[in-house]
Amino acid sequence: MSRKMILRVPKFQEPKRMEKSEAQRLWLLLKDAIVEVQHMNASTLSFEELYRSSYSLVIAKRGDILYTGLEEVNNHHTKNLLDKIAQAVDERFLIELNSQWQQYKLQQIMIHDILMYLDRMYVKEPQLKVFDLGMFKWKQNVLIHSQINDRLVRMLLGLIHMERNGEVIDGALMKSLIQMYVDVSLKEKETYKQEFEERFLLATSHFYKSESNLFITNNSCGAYLKKVEIRLIEEEARIKQYLDESTGPKLIKACEDELIANHMQTMIEMETGCRTMIQNDRFNELKLMYRLFQRVENGLVHLKNEFAGYVRNEGHKIVNQPENLKDPNALITSLIEIRNRFEKTLSQSFANNRDFINSVNTAFESFLNENDKLSESLALFIDKKLRGGFKDSNDQEIDVIMNKVILLFRFLSDKDVFKKFYEHYLAKRLLSGRSFSEDLERTMISKFKQECGNQFTSKMEGMFTDMRLSKDALDGFKNYLQTSVEMGKLPKIDMSVRVLTQGFWPTFPPHSCTLPPLLSQYCDLFTKYYCHAHTGRRIIWQTNIGTAEVTFRLPKKTHVLALSTYQMLIMLLFNDAEKLSLKQMAAGTSISFMDIQRSVKPLYSGKYKVLKRTPAVEKSKELSENDIFELNLNLKCKLHRIKFAATSQTDSEPERQHTRQRVDEDRKIEIDAAIVRIMKSRKALIHNDLIVECTKQLSSRFVPQTSMIKKRIENLIEREYLERFPDDRRRYRYLA
Amino acid sequence: DLKNLFQNQNKNEKESYFDFEIICEQNKTSFKTHKSILSSRSQYFKSLFKSKMKEYQENKLILKDVSSSILFPILNYLYSGKIKINSENAIQILIFSSKYLIDDLIKICSNFIKKNL
């Protein structure tokens, strides 16, 4: 800017040094006005005049006169008010105090407004601001005065006590008086905290301590929980209504401590408490308990432990109940039932809390593995379902059951045992054609696959492939027979063969028997055909798991008997004999005596008896090799086709033993493989570490016994896969 | 902005709903204003009205040590937020706004003075 600006300074008036008398005059003017304000007579005063006076004093550096003067006026005024208030009796006291306080507060706002210039331009820390000065004087001379403070707090607490006992009190009055403590606090609500809050919290704890003790001894746990919830809601409302919000968390904590934390053990143990609620599926009460316990430290841990303990106990009862031990179906059904029941409790009462679910699962794991029969029972349960037990269920129900099976399966520590049994029963279902639906079989297997991966189900899937390929092979064989020259010489029989790949199927204990010439000729033909089509394969006949249909001609009627291969062999012997002893049967068929016993039993002791014992012996179960049987020519049966069980029991003890043995064999291999795998990567390892590592690797399939791992290590040392360090016998080294 | 509301001192008096008068004693001039505007723009006026003292009762404020040539632009500023500061009035306006604690105007004046000193 080129043009030079000249600031126009108004004709400078030498500020007249303010005379003391002038300052005094202005102060007296203000003082009179303040007194008028304190007597609520402000309407005739000129705001501008007062403002100007205060301004003049401050710019003349006479603010001190004004500030100290104000302090004195406030001091005087509050002391007068104290006498007035202290004289009020009973309820008048609170009302008088409150009305004086409300007026005082308004006056202080007005004084602050008049003295705004003083407040802004003169007051410096640590001096109090004009309004704060007023508050401080009230606090000093009225509120914490011995004639007021204690009386006020006692009355306030008395009113709160009355309200807690159901009486109606003046909430607005409470709010105003309690807020007074906050208003006079200069920083961090210190007056409120010291003079009121502390005593209030103490009174609260006292009140709820005695109330809760009395209530819980005279009421049920459910009623107590409801009471607690109502009390907590009331206290929340109290905070909003007349307490300072900073008290909220402390008040609620005090209530929770007295009402919940101090009575948790009682609420769990009392007759109507947590245990009973769990036992009787009182979902709503448990839900309330969960909600309340959640509020206090460690509350849920108590509840969770109690629940998990109950679950473990119930599970333990089920897996050890004698009836359940005999009946796998009942056992698994009850387990699924309690699982459902506890899942319902978890979802309805415990908000599906992760910790709760985990502890229930841990409980299941522990009781399900208490009993080494569970793997087999579960396999049997599914077997029954897949043999037709699902007949009356819809897809959705089936899916639910299957998922429960998977769930229980997940808890098993010996999954390999289960797998063996499952394969065993699956093989039986497939070979005897008793599977209800291939779709369902495959669904079940796919669920196991999802759970455990390919390796777990590869054999099972192999079985299905075998079944399909067998059908193709059989069709081919039938074509071959029609074109074969040898065919003309043989009487026609309808033979069906299944080719099972070794390894996919459970190994059936080898049994030998002598087939009738006709059958063995057919077998030879099949072997010839099959080995021609698939070079390099070897066929081993497993006659013991076959079935046969035999025509049974009675004098008046003809039946078709559906029998096992063994039973067929036995029955065929009667073509040439009227009576046979078991010993003779065994000799005629080359079947072991034990298998003869088991095969004969259904034939003479079932609903339809094609054999009879001679002489008839009542209720004698034990068969001896000299017992003699003959055909029952008086058989009465409306059915044309009669089906017989292959053996007397679903599964015999030896067979089960056999399965167990095979599991042990497999485990040895698995443990060997695990040890070698670990040692190969680690080269050297201390004994204990090796055991731990090995157990960890195998835990998804089974829990190996330490003794077994030890034996395998010994064995591997013998086979020179490992060696001990010469200087430290507890360490092993891998030998490449 | 609300400049016109204040500047049309004599026109449309009925439609302007003036409810408060400010008198400059020096020049015997008066300005018609609105309580709501003044109180929303200045803490001084807010407190003045809130106090319900004489000025509030009489709807009239008498100012002693200010001339209308200074008061007009200041009132206009309270209405419009705009003010023309020049070397003539800068110091007077600064004095007035300091006295009545009009913080933003204090800043405008002192910036002007700093620049032109």
Q: What single-letter DSSP state applies at residue A544?
A: G
Q: What pLDDT does A150 receive?
A: 93
Q: Is the pLDDT of residue B46 over 60?
A: yes
Q: What pLDDT does A519 receive?
A: 83
**Using CB atoms, which residue from A42, A55, A117 is nearest to B53?**
A42
Q: Order of strands across the sheet with A547-553?
A: A547-553, A558-564, A641-643
pLDDT digit string, tens, across residues A16-57: 677 888 889 999 999 999 999 988 888 889 999 999 999 999
Q: Which residue of B has its CA nearest to A7?
A: B87
Per-residue tokens: A704: 């190996």
pLDDT digit string, tens, across residues A291-326: 999 999 999 999 999 999 999 999 999 998 888 888
User: B12 vs chain A: nearest CA distance in angstroms?
Assistant: 29
Substitution target in B53, B95, B106 with the highest count of A β-carbons within 10 Å is B53
Task: Check CB contact under 8 Å for A7 and B90.
Answer: yes
Per-residue tokens: A142: 């009225």
Q: Is the pLDDT of residue A647 over 80?
A: no
How far is A163 from A238, CA to CA, in rounded Å? 10
Element (H, E) at A619: none
Residues 6+ apart with CB under 8 A from A314: A338
- Our CA angle for A651, A654, A655, nearest 5°, is 50
Q: What pLDDT does A1 receive?
A: 42
User: B66 vs chain A: nearest CA distance in angstroms?
Assistant: 12
User: A192 vs chain B: nearest CA distance in angstroms?
Assistant: 29
Q: What pLDDT does A485 receive?
A: 63
Q: Which of A405-409, A483-487, A508-512, A616-620 has the lowest mean pLDDT?
A: A616-620
Contact assessment for residue A476 and residue A534, using Cβ atoms and an 8 Å cutoff? no
CB atoms within 10 A of CB A379: 25
Substitution target in B20, B22, B42, B54 with the highest count of A β-carbons within 10 Å is B54
Q: Chain B residues with CB-CB distance to A under 8 A?
A: 43-44, 47-48, 50-57, 61-64, 87-92, 99, 101, 113, 116-117
**Stretch A343-360: mean pLDDT, rounded?**
94
Task: Check CB contact under 8 Å for A43 and B52.
Answer: yes
Q: What pLDDT does A169 receive?
A: 94
Q: Is the pLDDT of residue B13 over 70?
A: no
Q: Is the pLDDT of residue A526 over 90?
A: no
Q: How many residues does chain A have?
A: 736
SS3 string, A473-517, reads HHHHHHHHHHHCCHHHHCCCCCCCCCCCCECCECCCCCCCCCCCH
